[in-house]
Structure 1
Amino acid sequence: MYRFEDCQVDPRQFELRRGGAVVHVEPQVFALLTHLIQHRHRVVAKTELLDAVWGGRYISDSALTSRVKMLRRALGDDGNQQRVIATVHGIGYRFVAEVAELDDGTVDATDTVDEPGIVRPPQQIRYCVSPDGVRVAYAISGTGSPLVRAANWLTHLDLEWSSPIWAHWLDGLARHHRLIRYDERGCGLSDWEVADFSFDAWVNDLELVVNAAGLGRFPLLGVSQGGAVAIAYAVRHPERVSRLVLVSAYCRGRLARARTADEREEAALDLQLGRIGWRHDDPTFRQVFASQFLPDGNRELWDAFNDLQRATTSTENVVRFLDVFAHIDVSTQAPHVRCPTLILHNRDDLRVPRSQAQELAALIPDSELHFLASRNHILTADESAWPHFLTEIRRFLAARPPQAEITADR
């Protein structure tokens, strides 16, 4: 959190307060504010602001100027005084007010705190049982309209709650929604010893969780390979999915999309390295994954990612996961998605190249694609793309379909 003059900014809660009162600003204006604060040690170029806030979409200088004017008005500043935001003519802007960084432990009566300074709405962990007898764990947190997140690589409902990899995701997504997420079969709090490890079984488990949660029509979020699961579910149940959000996703795994001999060799090598590394329980191989998922992370973040991977499932299951991931292919299903779709992808993602996002955008009708300024596969809390990510999701989900989502809690 940040404090300057009589203002306080909480990026985690997406909130600006001035004189103790909440000031309502547009999402782009808030993203502009947080980016300027986080880079207050230097002048931020206009091109950087356009990229960070609008994700590379063509926006005129006048649009940026109007957002800066709106931001100054919200902060009690103006173009003449420039006490908070200074214009550097011909270059960009700089945040010049003196800023104090806060670690606020204040909580509402309905909030829970896992460690000092981290505030989260409570989560409820529940179980449902699949037709083949697998116990699948799912969690509900936050309030408001539902948002379902399809499971992705090695989730753990409990450990994610205090993980620096995922905690800010849970906070941000549950801030304005009732977030429903689950551990896919074979990992986390769900059963580890399962016979059916197929892609279809994962789609069936998403179907199981949605029914157990008593949902009617809802938006669906898919991250990484969870995007393929979400696509398959949306095609299978077009009447249930109101909007689809795909983040760092792909429709074809590395082996499925390999076309040349070199691509097939590289995909096979990646799969074999994973198999051998996990079978021998060699931490250096898990470090390869950490550096691909979080190339701009520090040692502490990499260690947290490795610890989460190791505690999430068995070595045998990781090998099975990797085999299925490599062969995923929903390219024939994607054109049959019938709901509005938002595709968010980190521009320089080392794990899943942006060409996969472009393929999704070409295949899925009524889809929009936005690139985020990051090299990480999983966005971290302190990078400038994070508030932009939340802004785009809030904007997209706020545009309600003609028939509002129905939540039929049992």
Structure 2
Amino acid sequence: MHRAGATIHVEPRAFDLLCHLVTHRDRVVSKNELLDSVWGDRFVSEAALTTALRTVRRALGDTGGRQGMIRTVHRRGYQFVAAGTTVGAAPPARSEPARTAAPFGTDHQVIRFCKAGDGARIAYASVGTGPPLMKAANWMSHLDLEWTTPVWSHWISGLARNRTLVRYDERGCGLSDWEVPSCTFDDWVDDLETVVEASGLDRFPLLGVSQGGAVAVAYAARHPARVSRLILAGAYARGRQVRARDAAERNEADLDLDVARVGWSHQDPRFLRVFASQFLPEGTPRDWEEFVDFQRRTTSPANGVRFLEEFARIDVSAIAHQVRCPTLILHSRDDARVPTSQAGELAALIPDSRLVMLDSRNHLLTATEPAWAEFLSHIDAFLNG
């Protein structure tokens, strides 16, 4: 193909995809139709479609954010929207039976994979029916194991109630690739962008939990037209090393990180138990054991150290004011992991925000505490408002 007089080389599948979109530019083309038209009877995941679409957009000088050539239509598909004149016939579309997506509710999820710009494979999943809610990845996620652990199972069922919850495993974690070129905060934001595009979402509410809150803030600041509402739970704008106010706090933060490095590297059971208790101070010894077991199966010791080091350096305080959507900030009043001062800082930085304090000491709310029902009630009211 040619653009601005220059020859652009595009792989055949991507070119077929472009031809189909141009040929049917008078309507929105569904993902299933594109899969059937371009790949025929060869079974591929939606990640292949996403990759081909990204290739086409790059060749056209378009992006998922700009969408001047190809527009993503939420929950429906894609449409070629640029003005143009057809000067030749497009290849005939293959006549194949249309694919039917399997219905699913809150007891069943569909897991797919997509690739980040640096080649890292990212696993993402959809569960539930109704309007979408995108959840940014956070520490210790595993799309499959989350269904059976008491740490996260109630989060999935609660958040997917009357809506479609889309979540993913961050790089180095869960079902996503553990061996990745890099694992920085910018990589995490880029991965969220990749999953949004792969999911075909146009405009949607976004949830960020713990350090996933900072990722969500950065994404919302980058893409104000995409995020309709922002929910931050147990989140913070600045990591512990960044927010240290004096030498004593810096030394304390450095010591905390050194202990975490040793504990995670050697999988010291005493450290992991204490670490678990910081997330669930009101939990039982059984809860802590479940938490420790989930961590061990979720990522490698080396990656656990990488995550903790990066968490300490997080800082979105300079861009939080760029968030333009209504924002709900939920935080446990006596959070033992992230101090309430961080919730207050986020509320002060984000213009259209509201802070709600929950009566709990847990960083991750449990299914049995009253604060959990209150948490869901606030989210429902905010998203339905």
TM bracket, shorter-chain basis: 0.7 to 0.9
Residue 253 (structure 1) aligns with? 239
**In structure 2, distance between residues paired with 1:211 and 1:279:** 35
**1:332-374 Cα shifts (integer Å, max 9, x gaps):** 0101100000000000000001000000000000100000000
Matches within 5 A, 1:9-408: 120-399=106-385
**In structure 1, distance between residues paired with 2:140 and 2:261:** 15
Letter in structure 2 aligned against 1:221: L
Q: Which runs of 5+ in 2 are unaligned?
A: 1-102
1:224 Cα deviation after fit? 0.2
1:223 Cα deviation after fit? 0.1
For 2:158, what is the secondary structure of its paired residue? helix
**In structure 2, distance between residues paired with 1:397 and 1:123:** 22
Alpha-carbon contact 2:104-2:127 (below 8 Å) kept:
no
Q: CA RMSD in A?
A: 1.2
For 2:111, what is the secondary structure of its paired residue? strand
**Structure 1 runs, 4 residues or longer, greater than 4 Å off:** none
Alpha-carbon contact 2:120-2:181 (below 8 Å) kept:
no
**1:233-272 Cα shifts (integer Å, max 9, x gaps):** 0000001000000000000000010011121111111111
For 2:316, what is the secondary structure of its paired residue? coil
Letter in structure 2 aligned against 1:299: P
Question: Alignment length, in residue pairs?
Answer: 284
**1:14-44 Cα shifts (integer Å, max 9, x gaps):** xxxxxxxxxxxxxxxxxxxxxxxxxxxxxxx
For 1:243, what is the secondary structure of its paired residue? strand
For 1:153, what is the secondary structure of its paired residue? coil
**In structure 1, distance between residues paired with 2:209 and 2:267:** 26
**In structure 1, distance between residues paired with 2:204 and 2:227:** 5
1:187 Cα deviation after fit? 0.6
**In structure 2, distance between residues paired with 1:269 and 1:145:** 44
For 2:171, what is the secondary structure of its paired residue? coil
**1:164-202 Cα shifts (integer Å, max 9, x gaps):** 011011000001110000000001000000121110000
1:281 Cα deviation after fit? 1.7
Letter in structure 1 aligned against 2:198: A
For 1:317, what is the secondary structure of its paired residue? helix
**In structure 2, distance between residues paired with 1:168 and 1:176:** 14
1:111 Cα deviation after fit? 7.0
Cα distance change of structure 1 residues 168 and 311 upon mapping to structure 2, 3 Å threshold: same
TM-score where L is the length of structure 2: 0.73
**In structure 2, distance between residues paired with 1:204 and 1:288:** 32
**In structure 2, distance between residues paired with 1:177 and 1:286:** 35
**In structure 1, distance between residues paired with 2:289 and 2:277:** 10
Letter in structure 1 aligned against 2:277: S
For 2:205, what is the secondary structure of its paired residue? strand
**In structure 2, distance between residues paired with 1:349 and 1:272:** 22
For 1:126, what is the secondary structure of its paired residue? strand
**In structure 2, distance between residues paired with 1:153 and 1:283:** 19
**1:68-117 Cα shifts (integer Å, max 9, x gaps):** xxxxxxxxxxxxxxxxxxxxxxxxxxxxxxxxxxxxxxxxxx778xxxxx
For 1:332, what is the secondary structure of its paired residue? coil
For 2:166, what is the secondary structure of its paired residue? strand
**In structure 2, distance between residues paired with 1:197 and 1:169:** 26
**In structure 2, distance between residues paired with 1:138 and 1:275:** 28
Letter in structure 1 aligned against 2:207: L
TM-score where L is the length of structure 1: 0.68
Letter in structure 2 aligned against 1:246: L
**In structure 1, distance between residues paired with 2:356 and 2:263:** 35
For 1:343, what is the secondary structure of its paired residue? strand
Seq. identity, %: 64
For 1:137, what is the secondary structure of its paired residue? strand
Q: Which runs of 5+ in 1 are unaligned?
A: 1-109, 113-119, 400-410
Alpha-carbon contact 2:104-2:129 (below 8 Å) kept:
no
Cα distance change of structure 1 residues 198 and 394 upon mapping to structure 2, 3 Å threshold: same
Which of the pair has the greater relative contact order for Cα pairs under 8 Å at 6+ separation? Answer: 1
**In structure 2, distance between residues paired with 1:308 and 1:254:** 24
